[in-house]
Amino acid sequence: MTSVYGSHGQHPGDPQTAEPRPTPPSRRPRRINQRRLFRATPWGRVTTVGGAVVVLLVLWALVATLTAKHTGPEPLSEGVTSASKYAVGDCFADFDASADTNRTVSCTEAHSAQLVATATYAATDAYPGKESLDTRAAELCRQTKLDLPQDTSKLKQRTVVPTQGGWSGGDRRVDCFVESSNGNSLSQSLLPS
């Protein structure tokens, strides 16, 4: 007997007997080269140009940084010492007690001053006032043993003490110098060997 479904008893749509269905046309739009589309729009051009400008600015800044001259404080010249770095025994040519730096030289070279003593207050001490600091500095100079030449008429003791602003900035040192009023006329250390 023959079945309505065919001679083999299979149902329509059965994979063995079904005819291949045609595939419907794809409803997806064509792929568009997004890179080209991005540049082709006005915002794409703006973004591309903006990116190029940023890259150029970064390169310019890098070159400018690498080739720029140092504009900060000049490094100290050879032999020039900052006042905060003075050490007992240092001799100075063309000494200026009020300067932030002075030129240090060997004490066997011509010089006009020598740092002969220092005293340092504790970091926790309150500012004692200028008069108290001056008294302490004068006492420091009087107590310092020196090896002075026979003629001391051109020598004078000079003290340097911190100001209240300097004290607030951490300067706690009182200095005693021996200075020649005759310029760079000293040629030996005034401290005993």
* pLDDT tens-digit map of 112-144: 999 999 999 999 999 999 999 999 999 999 999
pLDDT reported for residue 25: 60
Reported as a pLDDT band with limits 50, 70 and 90, residue 55 is: confident
pLDDT reported for residue 70: 47
Cβ-based neighbour number of residue 117 at 10 Å: 22
Task: Identify which of 160, 151, 141, 158 has the alpha carbon closest to the alpha carbon of residue 186.
Answer: 151
Q: Which amino acid is at 42?
A: P
* Residues 14-44: tens digit of each pLDDT: 555 556 666 666 565 565 555 555 556 666 6
Reported as a pLDDT band with limits 50, 70 and 90, residue 60 is: confident
DSSP-derived 3-state class of residue 161: coil
Give the global pTM.
0.60
